[in-house]
């Protein structure tokens, strides 16, 4: 039976509840009320809903995070597994569900954590200088896809449940970033990007890209 709150968030929820109880025992009822409301907010932040994944087709890349698409940009080959691609950046506010999910069904080729700064997650430089975890994936057709969990100004803790060699399913829970952040997805040029700046997406539900169908000339070439 699935628990509706991420296990990583239970200590925060229980701590807030404990503070509320102590304040109530001390007859500090107003403060206790604020602490209880805080515990509800924390529980909502760490919510972990079940979702029916919308990616039965292995030619689809689905969103790894809930939030707003803040940029869709072309990237140099060195940023996309030595192939050209497109970077889709998804900003997660404090009010979004923060469970991250695998964008594809495939294999984990690498997991690399890089310490860094804590600029605001919507800052353009955040993906280059902030603390982050880069998850390298490869789909069934051999296309490399990079999923990067980026810490923000409030988020100081990245949780990644994957390791090199793991097999993942599209929509599978792979971790989270605590208290606001972003996820960058580098989509190879073999995929058509289906979102644009300003779109709102949900992890496991919305398509980010679709694998292009090659012509006979491209296949033979």
Q: Which is nearest to 103 in space by CA: 68, 67, 59?
A: 59
Model confidence over 133-165: pLDDT tens digits?
Answer: 999 999 988 999 999 999 877 656 889 999 999
> Alpha-carbon distance 137 to 174, whole Å?
12
pLDDT average, residue stretch 91-113: 92
Band of the pLDDT at 217, cuts 50, 70, 90?
very low
User: Rg of the chain's alpha carbons, rounded to an integer?
Assistant: 19
Q: Please state at what angle helix 29-45 crosses helix 10-25, rounded to 10 degrees.
A: 170
**89 confidence band (pLDDT: 50, 70, 90):** very high
88 DSSP assignment: E
pLDDT tens digits, one per residue of 1-60: 677 888 888 888 999 999 999 999 999 999 999 999 999 988 888 899 888 886 666 789
Pick the CATH number of 60-211 from 3.10.20.30, 1.10.10.1100, 2.70.70.10, 3.30.460.80: 2.70.70.10
The catalytic residues are 181
Chain-centre distance for alpha carbon 50: 16
d(CA 85, CA 62): 16
pTM: 0.85
Helix (H) / strand (E) element for 127: namely helix 126-129
Q: Where are the domains of the chain?
A: 7-45, 60-211
């Amino acid at each position: 039976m699935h628990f509706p709150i991420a296990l990583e968030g239970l200590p925060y929820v229980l701590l807030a509840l404990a503070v509320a109880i102590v304040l109530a025992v001390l007859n500090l009822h107003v403060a206790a009320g604020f602490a209880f409301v805080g515990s509800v907010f924390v529980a909502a932040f760490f919510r972990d809903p079940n979702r029916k994944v919308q990616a039965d087709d292995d030619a689809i890349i689905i969103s790894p995070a809930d939030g707003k698409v803040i940029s869709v940009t072309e990237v140099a080959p060195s940023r996309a597994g030595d192939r050209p691609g497109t970077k889709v950046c998804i900003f997660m506010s404090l009010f979004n569900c923060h469970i991250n999910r695998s964008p594809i069904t495939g294999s984990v080729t690498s997991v690399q954590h890089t310490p860094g700064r804590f600029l605001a997650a919507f800052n353009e430089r955040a993906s280059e200088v902030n603390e982050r975890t880069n998850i390298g994936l490869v789909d069934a057709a051999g296309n490399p896809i990079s999923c990067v969990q980026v810490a923000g100004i409030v988020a100081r803790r990245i949780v990644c449940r994957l390791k090199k060699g793991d097999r993942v399913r599209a929509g599978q829970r792979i971790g989270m970033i605590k208290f606001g952040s972003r996820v960058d997805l580098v989509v190879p040029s073999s995929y058509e990007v289906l979102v644009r700046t300003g779109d709102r997406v949900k992890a496991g539900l919305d398509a980010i890209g679709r694998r292009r169908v090659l012509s006979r000339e491209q296949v033979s070439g």
